[in-house]
Every structure is written in structure tokens, then in C-alpha cells.
Amino acid sequence: MNIVAGVKRVLVGRRLANAQLGETLLPKRLALPVFASDALSSVAYAPDEILITLSFAGMTGYLFSWQIGLAVGFVIAVVVLSYRQTVRAYPTGGGDYEVASANLGNHAALTVASALLVDYVLTVAVSVSSGMANAKALIPWIDGREVVLAVVVIALLALANLRGLRESGGLFAWPTYIFMFSMLGMIVVGFFRVLVLGQPLRSETADLLVRAPDGSLTAGGWLLIAVVARAFSSGCAALTGVEAIANGVPAFRPPKSRNAAIVLAALGGIAISMFLGIVILANLTGVRLIDELTGTHYVTADGTTVHEQAPTVTGQLARTIFGGWFPPGLYVVVIATMAILFLAANTAFNGFPSLASILAKDGFLPRQLHTRGDRLAYSNGIIALAVAAIGLVIAFQASVTALIQLYVVGVFISFTVGQAGMIQHWTTALRTELDRGERRRMQRARVINVIGAACTGTVLIIVLISKFTHGAWLALLAMAVLYVGMISVRSHYNRVRDELAMHGGTDRILPSRVRAVVLVQQVNRPTAKAIAYAKASRATSLAGVTVAVDDDETREMVAAWDKEDFGIPLRVIASPYREITQPFLRYVSELRTENPRDVVAVYIPDFIVGRWWERFLHNQTSRLIRDKLDLMKGVMVISVPYQLSSALRKHDPARR
């Protein structure tokens, strides 16, 4: 095993055979943290975005925080119920893409696919960036180093997923469960202290007023409506990740659909409880959150402006509920929140490669994305996602507020088109179903999907209107580019398939003659080996060909050729401008055009080296000539390898 392979085994793990695919399937206890970490983690930043957006309306905006929370919670419930129908009807893992493809056609399916792929990339960038924002509250040293550390975290997540789905699930299960129980525990304790014990819990920002960008403390009219609508659209980030289970059904243990539906229901119940609990507690404890970069400011009761960025909603609640009363609880919540935000990206690392694999199988993405790696994970998809997310983090400097504006659009396009596809699915199925019980079940499912489509479609319109000029247009542009790219890839594969199809043409007709030439750059052992192999092929004619770029060297080569007596002629091509490639290509082309049924076989000696840096010292001219010859019709290029001692030692350790 060489060094590179050894390092790969240490980082990725031992290779798994195809027959071991069943070992990677997930039980429900591992599937929940693997597929639900994104949706669950949304409660750590969706409330922040609601309050930050409401700050544009000054103090008036905060009056609507709990109503917006209830509206978002209702949408989560509807979407979860809708996706339970999807996982039962389409258990093969395509999710909304498969639903749209089967019921609405390729154009709708590609719209969904492009939206989901963009959203998965944004999920990684937003989750890791938000994790950095929360980590700064605990580790001030991170301030100013967010981008570099975010890139490192994404690389580590990619590495963990390259080791396989089950292994990454086991690795990430405990942090996810700790986050769930710590958040639910904080919510229960908070409500108990406020509602049962009657303690007046006040957050650290409760006594501060908020000044809107226009300098006012209150707002009304159309401005307030616009701010509330935008806050609702930002809060709908809490729905991201719900679709991942529908895309990942094949990763579940049998019965796949039933287990996926159970995990989806558990996800919905936990996410809604956590999200509403945080929003209502934030309202009860007077949490205020702003972003000074947007022009909002804290103001004290006497009118003094406070230039200080407060902790996140979760951080403020943890300090208010546990600080001074049960300090360990504070640290558990903050650390668990930081961890889940990083691990939330893991959901995308499962969803993106799976969807990309299906698209590649259908011919819409490069086929390399359909192949599994050493650990039976879709390695190429994992790497592609990591690279794209790192690019976004660097471009937006790990700013959650900037990235969140691009977010949500894609997932609600997917939700809406997917629900429309499910309505069509049930309508089509009802035309042929005769069993009354089954028909009633289908009709109930269709009603759920109709409500889901209406809700998600309404949210999509609100998101597009409220976020388009704030960055959502970039996400739509990326989706359009992906859509056109997938159409182009499919068209290319179709053209290649048609060209390569057997049509009984001239490909089986034997050539009239095979005219072989050996590229001679030096008279040495590799050249001798190439000549011997060319002779063994028994071509119609055979000659050595060299290009004269230096008169003295050419005379020496001709003398050495005559001395060795290879038994074939050596043709010398003059090159007054010291070029090698073009004169040789011209000679081969002239041989080919003398008779279209002739085949020209070009034998090129190649030095095979053992060290990576030695590759840059040999075969550059030969490689360039070979690449050009590959484009000539009727020309066959044969590389004749000659292993140097470094290559032999690498292949056979006994020679060292």
C-alpha cells in the first residue's frame, strides 16, 4: 500500500463491498439525528432572523413575534403531514424531484432539482456560519477568524460523511440528542419559572428600546405590513431540512416508508415544540435583537444609543433561565446549540449527494456523481457540496444575515411543486382505484397535499416579494444556471448515445491498409520497444519518423539509427521553425488523406516514472502530440510504456 492509499484508509476507513450496503442502512434512532439535524437546528437561528427583521419597525414590530411564530409553526405542521404522504407514495428516495418527474414532467422536475441543490449548498453555508456566530459568545477568540474556521468545519464534515452514512450518523447522534433535550429542558424550565412560580424573568435586552433605521421607535401602516411579511419569510427558514427525509428514504432500514414516516412525524413534533417554545419565551422575557449593519440600534430609556451586539435569542434565553440559577444548564445549551448548528450541515451532506446521484442516473448531471466511493457513500457529491459551500462562506464572509436572504426561496419552490405533483398523483390514482377504503385514504391524502400546496405557495409568494431585492435574486439566478446546465448535460449525453449506437455502418469494415509510424525522439530502449511492438502488429507499412529541430542532433540520431539497424526506414521531417508537434501532425494527416480507408497507427514511446514530481520532467511533447492525434479521424494512437527504475521499485518493493 502506497502512502496516499494509506492516508486515505486512515481518513476514510476500509473499503466496503457492494454486498455490505445493507450494513450502512439506518435504524430510526440514528436516522433522526442524521436527517433531522438541519430542521431541528433551524430553531437556533430562525427566531433570531424574525426578531432582527422586526427591528426595522422599531418597538412596534416585536408585538407580532409570537403571531409570526404560530404561523410558521402551522406551516411546519402542514409540510410535515404532506411529506408523510410523499414518503409512502415514493419510497425510492427522489423526494420532490421524483414526484414532479412522475406527475408534472421533466421541466418541473428540473426546477425542483435545481432549487434543492442550491438550497442544500446554502444549508451548509448558513448552518456553519450560524454555528460560528453562536460560538463567538462562548469563545471570543473566534471573532475575526470566522471564515477560516468555517472552512475547516465544512472540510471536517465532508470527511466524516466520506466515511459512510451510518458512521457519520453514530458520530453525530449524541450531539443532536443533547441539543434536543437541552432545548426542551430550557423551554420547560422557562415556562415553569414564569407561569408556575411567577418569577419575572427579564432578558439582558428587555430594558432596551430599539430604534428603526429611520430613527423612529414605532412604525405603522404599509411599512409595518412589509416588515411583518419579511419577518415571516425569514422565520420560514425553520422549515429547511424537512424535505431531507423524503430524499433519504433508501437509507432507512426496512420497512423504509413506514420508518421514514415515523421519523418525519417525530421531527415535526419536536421542531414545532422547540420553535414555538423559543419564540414565546423570547416574547415573555422581552428579548430584543438587532443588526447594526442594517441601521437599527439599541437605545436606553434616556435616549442614549448603545453600540453593542447582543447574544443570539438562544444565548439570551439560556442566560435568563439558567444563569445564576443553574449555570451548568447555560453552558450545556450554548455548547449544544453551537454543535447542532455545525452538524445541521450534515443533513445536506446526505441529501445533496443522494439527489445528485439520481439526477446523474437520469443523465442530467455528470455520471461520476452516481458512483459510490470506498465507503458506499456518494463521494463525488459530498466533495462537490463541500467545495460549493466553502465558496459561499468565503464570498459572504460567513455572514448569516447576508446568506439568509438567499435561503428559503429554493426550499419553498421545491415544497410547492412537490405538493402540486402529489395532488396530480392522487388524482391519477383515484381514476383506477375501486376499493372504497383505499379511495378514502387517497382522498384524505389529496386534501392534505392541497392544503400543503396552498400554504407553501402562499409562503413562496411572500418570500419572493419580501426578499427578492435583498438577495433572493441571486439564489434564483443560481437555480436558473443549474437548470440550463442540467438540460445541456442531458442533451450532450443524448447526442453521444445516438452517435455511439450500433447502426450497421462502416465501423465494422476492415481498413484497406494499416500504415504504422513510430515517433522517434531519441534512439534508445523505449524507442526499440515501440518498434518491436509495432512490428508484432504486422502493419501494411512501418516507418520511424523524427522531426529535425537541430541539425547536429539530427545527424547524430540518423547515425545511431543506422548503427542499430532496426530494419525499418527513418523519415526525417524538416522543421525550420523548430516545431515538433505541427510538422509531425501534418505528416500523419497527409498519410491519412491519401486513401480514406487507410488507418494510420502511431506508436509513441512513454516513460513511466514512480515519483509524482518526475511526471513533469518527461513525456510532455508526446502527451501534446497524443492529445492532438486523438482528434484525427482514422488515426489510432498506441502508447508503448517503458518503466523506469523508480516505477519498478514502486510496483515491486523487493527492488528497493
Q: How confident is the model at residue 171 (pLDDT cuts 50, 70, 90)?
A: low
For 154-170, write each residue's pLDDT tens digit. 988 888 777 765 455 55
HEC assignment per residue over 433-498: CCCHHHHHHHHHHHHHHHHHHHHHHHHHHHHHHHHHHHCHHHHHHHHHHHHHHHHHHHHHHHHHHH
Residue 637 backbone dihedrals phi, psi, to 5 degrees:
-110, 125
Helix (H) or strand (E) holding 56: none
Residue 272 has a pLDDT of 92
State what percent of residues in the chain have pLDDT above 70: 87
Residue 42: left (phi > 0), alpha (psi -120 to 50), or beta?
alpha
CA dihedral 130, 131, 132, 136 (to 10 degrees): 110
Residues 634/602, Cβ–Cβ less than 8 Å: no
Residue 623 has a pLDDT of 86
Q: How confident is the model at residue 652 (pLDDT cuts 50, 70, 90)?
A: low
- Name the residue among 121, 125, 97, 123 with its Cα closest to residue 111: 97
Q: Is it the case that residue 643 has pLDDT exceeding 70?
A: yes
Residues 397/132, Cβ–Cβ less than 8 Å: no
Residue 8 has a pLDDT of 46
Residue 422 has a pLDDT of 92
Q: Is it the case that residue 7 has pLDDT exceeding 70?
A: no
Residues 363/351, Cβ–Cβ less than 8 Å: no
Q: Which residues pair with 570 in a beta bridge?
A: 544
Residue 450 has a pLDDT of 92
d(CA 90, CA 246): 8
Average pLDDT rounded to a whole number, residues 270-299: 86
Average pLDDT rounded to a whole number, residues 612-638: 82
For 321-349, write each residue's pLDDT tens digit. 998 788 888 889 888 887 887 777 777 88
Amino acid in position 252: F
For 344-394, write each residue's pLDDT tens digit. 777 788 778 888 888 988 889 988 888 776 555 678 888 899 999 999 989
Integer CA distances (angstroms), 653 to 3, 609, 610, in order? 13, 15, 12
Taking the complete model, does pTM exceed 0.85, yes or no? no
Q: How confident is the model at residue 44 (pLDDT cuts 50, 70, 90)?
A: confident
Cell digits for 446?
Answer: 389529496
Q: Where do the domains of the chain lie, and which CATH numbers do they carry?
A: 24-417+452-493 (1.20.1740.10), 511-655 (3.40.50.620)
Residue 630 has a pLDDT of 87
